[in-house]
Amino acid sequence: MTRPLMTPVTLLTGFLGSGKTTLLQKLLTDPDMARAAVLINEFGEIGLDHQLLDRIDDNVVLMKSGCICCTVRGEVADALINLDEMRARGEIDFDRVVIETTGLADPYPVLQTLQAHPVLRSHFRSGGVLTTVDAVNAAAQMNHRAEAVRQIAAADRIVLTKTDLAGDVTDLRAALARVNPVARVVTSDMGASDILGDLDAVHSLIEPDACGTCGHHHDGDDHDHGHHHHHHDDTLGVVTFSLTVEHPLDWTDFGIWLTLLLHRYGDRIFRVKGILAIDGEDQPVAVHGVQHLVHAPVHMEHWPDGPRHSRLVFILEGIDPALIRRSFHAFMRLDDTTGAKAA
């Protein structure tokens, strides 16, 4: 197998729930991507993305949770060096790398790391920045979230997602062009060759600068039966929170609860995603919500490794996770202290 001298590294970025994993799934079916190694960095205590991605093999690596823009910077370098060493030992084979960042990541520090790291820069080269933009939610996100704007600004190519759900995107395209006039805009329903074509050849014209949102810290707060929450950024008040439930859930109750929750608090719930064990079903169901939008649930073919428990991850701002936990337990008739089925 010939090994390219410099392996291209493509950064796949985009705001929370904008469709990065969905796009990655599709791109990995393209023959050009057959030998891609994938690094996934997820924000939140429980990483779900690698479980939602069908292709689980040695070339898919989940990096520890954390904010990629600061704390994980060294981890990206370590993960890439590790992949390179494994390839040198003949343990794996790949000809390109895709890094899926968290939806809250600022891509510049990772780009800087790739350029400046003494080992990385002699083994890897930039394979471009691909930014997913959610046609339903992007306008609001661009107005309120600096990360969303930075991700768009860093793009070599912008992939508009959810155009099937959005109406006219002319205004959004104009807003994107104001932030980043050089990136080509494609839509996620296009073929992989349109989305990836020439991506390696283009380079962002925007100079990376220092991460403007440094100072993130993480303080875990474990509770019984798998509840966690921690702060992503004190000033912005973004919090992740997760729920684990050991016994199967009633699908109708769950659906009503999630719909009501997002209807009422969607502006403060950037993201909810989960893998659920449903009463009467053998296979798990993946659920996704983004702000007020609840996506169609997906029946997964297999349970990922590990216990067959329902797990839900939320990324919130300005809403107390305890409120969500209490309402979930009340609605699902679970004991609020133990999470067990109430008598």
Residues at the interface with ligand GTP (CB under 6 A): 14, 16-22, 49, 103, 132, 161-162, 164-165, 188, 271, 273, 288, 295
CA-CA distance, 117 to 120, in Å (whole number)? 5
| Pair 245, 340: CB distance under 8 Å | no
Q: Which one-letter DSSP state was computed for residue 107?
A: S
**Cβ distance to ligand GTP smaller for residue 130 or 334:** 130
**DSSP for 136-151, written as a single string:** TTHHHHHHH-HHHHHH
Q: Least CB distance from residue 68 to ligand GTP, whole Å?
A: 12
Q: Least CB distance from residue 303 to ligand GTP, whole Å?
A: 18
Q: Least CB distance from residue 317 to ligand GTP, whole Å?
A: 14
**Cβ distance to ligand GTP smaller for residue 109 or 289:** 289
Angle between helices 170-179 and 146-153 (to 10 degrees): 80
| Pair 204, 154: CB distance under 8 Å | yes
Number of Cβ atoms within 10 Å of the Cβ of 126: 20
Q: Least CB distance from residue 97 to ligand GTP, whole Å?
A: 17
**Cβ distance to ligand GTP smaller for residue 164 or 253:** 164
Q: Which one-letter DSSP state was computed for residue 101?
A: P
**Cβ distance to ligand GTP smaller for residue 13 or 126:** 13
CA-CA distance, 95 to 9, in Å (whole number)? 9
Q: Least CB distance from residue 330 to ligand GTP, whole Å?
A: 26
**Cβ distance to ligand GTP smaller for residue 144 or 333:** 144
